[in-house]
Structure 1
Amino acid sequence: YRIGTRYLDEPILDNVKREAMQMPFLAELLRSDSIYLCHNITIHNLKPIASFLGMIGNPELGGLSVEEFKRRQGLHREAEVKAMLDVRDFIAKAHDTYGYPHFINDAGGSLCELDEPGVIEQLAEDTLILYLKPSDAMLNQTIERSLLEPKPMYYQNQFLDQVLPQYLAEQGLSTPEEIVPDDYFRWMFPRLVEHRLPRYQEIADRYGVVLDAERIDDIHGETEFLELICDALG
């Protein structure tokens, strides 16, 4: 939410305006300032961010070129780094303004991809990093949900440069412009999850603790949650 509303707000709206300007009726109204466009990003609706980030593939099917996709991924990375560094200020605001004694930073899965010096270290100073480690069954459920409703995500160029040629070869395609975007995402995402698992574990081993994600379903209040964390801390 913070990434989209604070740091990707302008790029998202610029992209929407470019699309709208291709329609003469809307273009005339925009040029005369008769209408304005805005997104409706909420905590439960991140589709404007996912739509902006897009996916590589056939432009006639809404796909992006590799270069444009990487550019937008770069913007997402910069935004996520800034959002994670904002956590320290938000902890202070939560306490000083609202009187909240505790603060939860629900970081995205792409946190492990940032590799930005100081980000994980600052989060570890200000928060206890919890890795909710999924079982195989839960992992499969997560993948299935993400395939049905993709969420915004960042992943490194190195990963893309590794899997994209593999996909083209397996599908017998000559160029990325031949890719059906949704088909590529369904093929790529499980591989991305597998790529990330050791990264999550490394962060938890160095800076945090590991919790069995399935145990979260048995929690019915703050006390039980804190007891679970205490057990993990030993």
Structure 2
Amino acid sequence: MLYNSKSDWTASQSKSIMLFGMSGLGKTYISELLRNNGDWFHYSVDYRIGTRYMGEHIADNFKKEAMSNPFLANLLQTDAIYISANMKFSDLSPLSSYLGKPGDPSKGGIPFKEYLRRQRLHRDAETNAMLDTVHFIQRAKSLYDYDKFVCDTSGSIVEIVDCNDKNDNVMKTLSQYVLPVWIEGTEEHTEELVKRFIKSPKPMYYNEKFLIECWDNFLKEKSVSESKVDPNEFIIWGYRKLLENRSPRYRKIAKDWGITLRASEVATVRSADEFTSLISANLEG
């Protein structure tokens, strides 16, 4: 690990961490808290995905929808209007809206084949955005003189790395520059995440093999054809399965590459000093 002991962490003027785990357990909360402290650089992987790697795809999707409206189509064709995504750290909805949901077009769904294509684009984008962490650590120091860096990962990091491969390119590269920190939830947290998701289901990124298995099982279980699937029903159905599928892989990454913090502990943190102390308390030696 980058910091092998409490003393290593405490003595180091430069501190670089990578927060990972399911969305909704505190990654962005802590990242924003550290950034607002004034001496931490906040690198949002989702923001990087949406702006650097998926921005053109997202904007083209908006334009495609606009072209179905004769009034807007004419304005687009004459360059009278400009359409782009307004991506923000606090609002990544343009990215999730592009991923979409498979199923009945009349209910906002897209064909499963197109859904897979977009998932593959996201996979490549997330892999590149994760590897860009190294560049941004160097950039944060050389341009802005930041010695402290937090990488705020996507919940789907476990889908783009092989947790069982000690030579996984992404993890092997990043472990030289950041301390991976898993924010671990409880069963109660899982139930709360599911409740939130049911109220506001959003597109998710899946490992392709797992996604195809879920899709096939859903079609069989519900006795429904692809074009008649309720998009929200499918992603809600698959969400708990996704949580259960990811949890042991998060744990494996933390065991082999980093440390684990309990979400309940993270929720009580109110300052950068409190968080760095929490990291120290969970390092050995």
Common topology (TM > 0.5): yes
Which aligned runs of 4 or more in structure 1 are off by greater than 4 angstroms?
none
Distance 2:201 2:48 in 1: 18
Runs of 5+ consecutive residues of structure 2 not aligned to the other structure: 1-46, 163-167
- Residue identity matched to 1:88: V
Distance in 2 between residues matched to 1:138 and 1:145, nearest whole Å: 11
SS of equivalent to 2:148: coil
The aligned counterpart of 1:178 is 228
Does 1:36 pair with 2:87? Answer: no
Distance 1:51-1:171 versus aligned 2 partners, 3 A rule = same
Partner SS for 1:227: helix
Q: CA 1:60–1:138 in structure 2 vs 1: closer, same or farther (change >3 Å)?
A: same
1:79-116 alpha-carbon deviations (Å, 9 max, x no partner): 11111011011111112222222100010110000037
The equivalent position to 1:50 in structure 2, one of 84, 96, 103, is: 96
Higher helix fraction: Structure 1 or Structure 2?
1
Q: Of 143, 162, 174, which aligns to 2:213?
A: 162
**Whole-angstrom distance in 1 between the partners of 2:158 and 2:198:** 20
Q: Which of these residues, 237, 248, 256, is aligned with residue 206 of structure 1? A: 256
Question: Is 2:110 aligned against 1:59?
Answer: no
Gaps of 5+ in 1: none
Read off the aligned partner of 1:9 and give its amino acid letter: G
CA shift, 1:145, in A, is: 2.5
Letter in 1 for 2:244: E
After TM superposition, give the deviation of residue 156 of structure 1 in Å: 1.3
- Distance, in Å, in 2 between the alignment partners of 1:132 and 1:209 is 9
Q: For 1:147 and 1:122, how far apart are their aligned partners in 2?
A: 36
TM-score of the superposition, structure 2-length normalised?
0.78
Aligned partner (choices 52, 60, 63) of residue 6 of structure 1: 52
The answer on whether the counterparts of 2:133 and 2:151 sit within 8 Å (CA) in structure 1 is: yes
The SS at the match of 1:126 is coil
Contact 2:67 2:73 in 1 (8 A): yes
Aligned-pair distance for 1:24?
0.9
Tell me if the contact between 1:8 and 1:79 (Cα under 8 Å) persists in the aligned partners. Answer: yes
Instruction: Tell me if 1:24 matches 2:75.
Output: no
Q: 1:84-163, aligned counterparts within 5 Å?
A: 84-115=130-161, 117-151=168-202, 153-163=204-214
Q: Where does residue 221 of structure 1 map in the other structure?
A: 271
CA contact (8 A) 2:197 2:236 kept: no
SS at match of 1:104: strand
Larger mean Cα displacement after TM superposition, 201-210 or 217-226: 217-226
The structure with the largest strand share of the pair is 2
Tell me, in whole angstroms, the C-alpha distance in 1 between the residues paired with 2:192 and 2:242. 15
C-alpha displacement of 1:150: 4.3
* Mapped partners of 1:77, 1:197: distance in 2: 19
Aligned partners of 2:184 and 2:261 also within 8 Å:
yes
> Separation in 1 of the partners of 2:243 and 2:180?
19
Aligned sequence identity (%): 38
